[in-house]
Amino acid sequence: MNRRGITALENTTFEDLEQLKTTKNELTRFMMTYKFAIDEVNTKLNILKEEFQYIHDYNPIEHSISRVKSPESILKKAYRKNCGLSLAAIKENIQDIAGIRITCSFISDIYKVSEMITKQRDITVIERKDYIQNPKPNGYQSLHLIIKIPVFMSDRVEHTFVEIQIRTIAMDFWASLEHKIYYKFNKEVPERITRELKEAAVSATELDKKMERLHEEVKVIKNMENEEQQHVSDSPMNGEIRQLIGLLK
């Protein structure tokens, strides 16, 4: 440590150290709150997934990932938004510090999952943006929700923002590649590539619609097969056969 650093350390008072410790604890708690909020939402998603799997023999959620923005990213966004750098100002004005992305197989699953989430009693929907019905100009599609969820700490309840993005596998694939291309060109993507990305988004949409139609056809066929099996099992002859089998046991 150089002489200036030693002098600064020597001049540090007990009150300064206490203030530094308090600031560190507040920042740690601030970041942990968003982690706990994600944990709360993920727990709800896991329950919904298991319930659907057991009761409906089907899971509308393919997979999900979550993240909490780094302190550096949070400060950069606060600076861009000019909302102030206090923790209180950041908490109120930046709503995507905690984020969860849910990937579904079909477009109908997106709305099904969204409804299941928003019907939770302790979740408050702050904002809903449907980029599936109204895609962005570049072709981006997804359903965005900003929710508030209570996080129960040892001495308080923190109502915390979480951003949820719900999209199909095709939408997620397109968005991931578009994001990589966008930053590879330092946000200045050539017009030709922009045009081809838009065309790819249209192709992804057509694929989603086609898979949705096939999914519905399979459900209809499956229901018809189940009805036929039920009709056979309910026939009088079937009942007599079951009785004979019972006597032979």
Catalytic residues: 163
Phi, psi (deg, nearest 5) at residue 122: -95, 10
- Report residue 86 as tokens: 């206090």
Helix (H, G, I), strand (E, B) or coil at 143: strand
Could you tell me which residues come within 8 angstroms of residue 118 by beta carbon, excluding any fewer than 6 positions away? 125, 145, 147
Torsion of CA 166, 169, 170, 171, to 10 degrees: 20
- Report residue 99 as tokens: 């984020």
- Report residue 187 as tokens: 């946000």
Distance CA 27, CA 18 (A): 14
Distance CA 159, CA 97 (A): 13
Could you tell me which residues come within 8 angstroms of residue 207 by beta carbon, excluding any fewer than 6 positions away? 170
Distances, alpha carbon 135 to alpha carbons 143, 146, 198, 223, 245, in Å: 10, 18, 11, 34, 60
Phi, psi (deg, nearest 5) at residue 189: -80, 130
Distances, alpha carbon 200 to alpha carbons 108, 141, 161, in Å: 21, 12, 33
